[in-house]
Amino acid sequence: MKKFKRFTSVLLVCCMVLMSLAGCTNPNSANNAQPAATEVKEDANLSEIEKIIKEAESMSMEELAKKAIEESNGKTFYGVGNSSRGKTAIPLFIEYLKSIDPSYTMEYEWQQPKNNKIFDQLTADSLKEKGTFAMTLIQDGNQIESKMVQTGVLKTYIPQEWAKANDTTADAYTGYLPLQTLNKVFMFNNTGSAIYKNSWDFVNKDVHALYMDIDSEIVGKNFLYMLTQDKYAAWLKEAYDALDSTKQAYFKPFIDELAKDAEDLGLGENGKYALAWIKLWVESYNAQTDDGPICNTLVADSATDQSGLLVYSKLRSVEESASVSKNNITVAAYQDDYNGIGGYGYCHYLFVTNNSPLPWTACALIAYMSSTKDGFSAWGKDMGGYSANPEVATATEAAYNHSKGGYENGVNVYDSKNDRGYDWWTTNGKLVLEDPQYCSSVSFTVGSWIELLTKYSEGTAKK
């Protein structure tokens, strides 16, 4: 441990020197919003893809559809994404185009790279004069910002209908285009006597919550980055203050120990609470390879008192049996007396590739996915995924009634499936929302600090 502390001190000094040389400010000065707009280019300096995107942003869905039909009729469309459901959405898009021109045909392929390979795949494809992939649906705001947007590999297109629904314009909007927000939420098996009424309970002594390892799903590391932002660090401080004196006494030494690290990393006044929670979480969580197995474990009778942080929508696929039930699960934030963060929210973003072979079709598909209920239905049919288009979100809830997803024949059978919705989760549920710009700004400083935890900490449950 002494070796770890000495190494940490050296690292923090190096981090602060580099931040000073780069003219960095306190990373908490960034608000929890979309990343800043890139420099506006003069039309003469736009690439051919950028010119098409700019023109597409002034066109209606039907106008775009006609351009797509003209461009891709009889051709093959290649898409790539972190969600396999792109493969479900494209046939619906083709049917929409056929409603305009019955003679239209298009073949398609959708790839879903594993183990974070999507960034390497898109980077390699961007080196071609004309790429293979027309568009992508991608997650992990930190790597999108640093590897895809700053390098020019991906281009943002804002559909006219989406902009209107969000009371903005393509020119005024300054972020990426989010298709949806997904949530990972704290849950626990309620067949025993363990109490999880506070987000600090998930890092209490001898608790080993199930979680996808941060080295296998990097978006989970972004969750930890975001906890250091002032807003969310304050939530952790408030949750700590709500603990009884015995629990406070257990956590206080960790908090006090990390006060200097928080100061050296340029965090705000509550940064030490964030670092303490992160340290305890990283050193204790039970690393898993996927959220599906985590869900399957927690709903079993045999998982008494176990807990986890996992994608909420995984509950949709649980099949009831003599030893398995969705009623064995409690969503922590749904408890009336719960304190602290309820989970983590991150986005799937839509982009056109910088050398798209079918850019008009890519724009039309992106507009269809993000601006129509049918286009979003591949994701919207299940709980836990919230369209970034408020009109689509309203239509989706009306169609699928996720707020009563646990009802059967008018009776509330599985309360854990009654999705409270995006507005509730981001207020009452205290969902920590990914901010790509903030994650990118602390990925070296806070990120390096977290890496040291995983390498030098003793007694971790992951070993």
Please report the DSSP string for 162-187 in residue order.
HHHHTT--TTT--S-EEEEEEEEEEE
Handedness of CA 158, 164, 170, 173 (dihedral sign): negative
> Are 292 and 186 members of one domain?
yes
Instruction: Determine the Cα–Cα distance for residues 194 and 178; give it in Å rounded to an integer.
Output: 37
- pLDDT more than 70, % of the chain: 89
Greatest alpha-carbon span in the chain:
72
Which candidate, 234, 275, 201, 251, places its Cα nearest to that of 442? 275
Q: What is the identity of the amino acid at 366?
A: I
Round the CA-based radius of gyration of the chain to a whole number and report it: 23
Residues 27/30/31/32 CA torsion (nearest 10 deg)? -70
The whole-number pLDDT of residue 159 equals: 98
- In a domain, residue 28? The reply is no
Which candidate, 432, 462, 447, places its Cα nearest to that of 184? 432
Return the CATH number at 70.
3.40.190.10
The whole-number pLDDT of residue 462 equals: 47
Question: Is 99 exposed, middle or buried (CB count within 10 Å of its CB: 0-12, 13-18, 19+)?
Answer: exposed
The three-class DSSP label of residue 111 is strand
Six token digits for residue 78: 């290649």
pLDDT in tens, 76-87: 999 999 999 999
What is the distance of C-alpha 124 from the center of its chain? 24
Q: How many CB atoms lie within 10 A of CB 97?
A: 22
Structural domains of the chain, count: 2
Q: How many CB atoms lie within 10 A of CB 294?
A: 25
- In a domain, residue 34? The reply is no
Tokens 């303490």: give the residue: 276
The whole-number pLDDT of residue 216 equals: 79
Instruction: Determine the Cα–Cα distance for residues 15 and 265; give it in Å rounded to an integer.
Output: 8
> Are 230 and 267 members of one domain?
yes
The three-class DSSP label of residue 100 is helix
Q: 40 falls in which pLDDT band (50, 70, 90)? A: low
| H-helix or E-strand spanning residue 274 | helix 271-284
Residue 431 phi, psi (nearest 5): -80, 130
Q: 456 falls in which pLDDT band (50, 70, 90)? A: low
- In a domain, residue 194? The reply is yes
pLDDT in tens, 239-294: 999 999 999 999 999 999 999 999 999 999 999 999 999 999 999 999 999 999 99
pLDDT in tens, 56-68: 999 999 999 999 9
- In a domain, residue 85? The reply is yes
Q: How many CB atoms lie within 10 A of CB 249?
A: 10
Angle at 380 between CA 321 and CA 370, to 5 degrees: 160
- Mean pLDDT across the stretch 299-307? 97
> Are 314 and 230 members of one domain?
yes
Q: Are strands 106-111 and 75-81 parallel, antiparallel or unpaired?
A: parallel
Q: CA-CA distances (angstroms) from residue 175 to 122, 163, 435?
A: 20, 12, 10
Instruction: Determine the Cα–Cα distance for residues 403 and 334; give it in Å rounded to an integer.
Output: 13
> Are 195 and 339 members of one domain?
yes
- Mean pLDDT across the stretch 162-186? 96
Cβ proximity of 349 and 158 under 8 Å: no
- When the pLDDT of each residue in the chain is averaged and rounded to a whole number, the result is 90
The range of the structural domain enclosing residue 276 comes to 2-17+181-345+414-456
pLDDT in tens, 387-441: 999 999 999 999 999 999 999 999 999 999 999 999 999 999 999 999 999 999 9
- Decide if pLDDT at 103 tops 60: yes
Cβ proximity of 216 and 289 under 8 Å: yes
Q: What is the identity of the amino acid at 419?
A: D
pLDDT in tens, 310-322: 999 999 999 999 9
> Are 362 and 234 members of one domain?
no
The whole-number pLDDT of residue 45 equals: 87
Q: Are strands 329-331 and 177-189 parallel, antiparallel or unpaired?
A: antiparallel
Q: How many CB atoms lie within 10 A of CB 447?
A: 18
> Are 77 and 161 members of one domain?
yes
> Are 234 and 351 members of one domain?
no
Instruction: Determine the Cα–Cα distance for residues 197 and 207; give it in Å rounded to an integer.
Output: 14
> Are 306 and 355 members of one domain?
no
